[in-house]
Amino acid sequence: MPEQQLQRGTLYAIAAYVMWGIAPIYFAAVKTVPADEILMHRVIWSFLLVLGLVLAQRQWGQVQALLRQPKKLGLLFITATLIASNWLVFIWAVTNNHVIDASLGYYINPLFNVALGMLLLKERPGRFSLIAVALAAIGVLYQLFQYGSVPYLSLFLASTFGIYGLIRKQIKLQATTGLLVETALLLPFALLYWLLLDSPSANLAHNSLTINALLLAAGIVTTLPLLAFSAAAIRIPFYLLGMLQYIGPSLMLIMALTLFNESFKPEQIVTFGCIWAALVLMSIEGLQKAHTKRKANRSGRGLTP
């Protein structure tokens, strides 16, 4: 059974990261619609889809219990704001030919998580993780001092998603329950924005059937990978989940260079090189920790009478 769980979890993780990795194809298909409107649709249709899932899974009692906890609701309002801003910038990046910058952001994300763990959770990462964070900083600083530019978009995506994950980890909620409350908190703003919006595409009757179908699919694009990720997280070790995470930005980068005809800028080559080297070090350390843990578990079982 554990081996089957590992295989299923790995498939769920791959599915989640592949869906996140190819998401730029979807947003490029609706690039005629402004990024803020796409975000509006993403909130509305995600809320309706997740509401249906919560009711189907009979989790409404968890939602009711959560509504009686103002502190958690306050934290969820912060996470909702963070994830909405992350979505908006990511959509803008794809629809304005900055997919390479977006992929860099999600490459930086695990390194940013290590830094957050050190600063806020007082975690003690290994030597390789410390070197990895330093390498990432060197890559960004090189770009700043050599070319006078900072990858603001990449750093924004990495930081908002990293802080979002950190807060959600502290709240400890199921993915569907948390996402339902987050989208519910954003829903009034999305509906009011739609009501006041003066744009041809805001009226679905003026859009083509294809565009309307794509906008309605925003809920699926948002929810499916999150559910797959949640299913993976409870089945496979954290180090494996972290290593598979690189599938997403790798697919984004490949598509940026091939499908979207973007090209590396000179400053990006050095920054990406530093980030990739840092991720290799983190992966090595993750494998070493996993090997040590397996040895300890085997030794413990051998000593058990």
Which pLDDT tens digit goes with each residue over 17-54?
999 999 999 999 998 899 999 999 999 999 999 999 99
pLDDT on residue 171: 82
- Measured CA to CA in angstroms, residue 239 lies from 152, 207, 284, 285 at distances of 28, 45, 10, 9
1: helix, coil or strand? coil
Class of residue 190 by CB neighbours under 10 A (exposed 0-12, middle 13-18, buried 19+): buried
pLDDT for 118 beyond 80: no
| CA pair distance 160, 147, nearest whole angstrom | 25
pLDDT for 204 beyond 70: yes
The average pLDDT across 88-103 equals 93
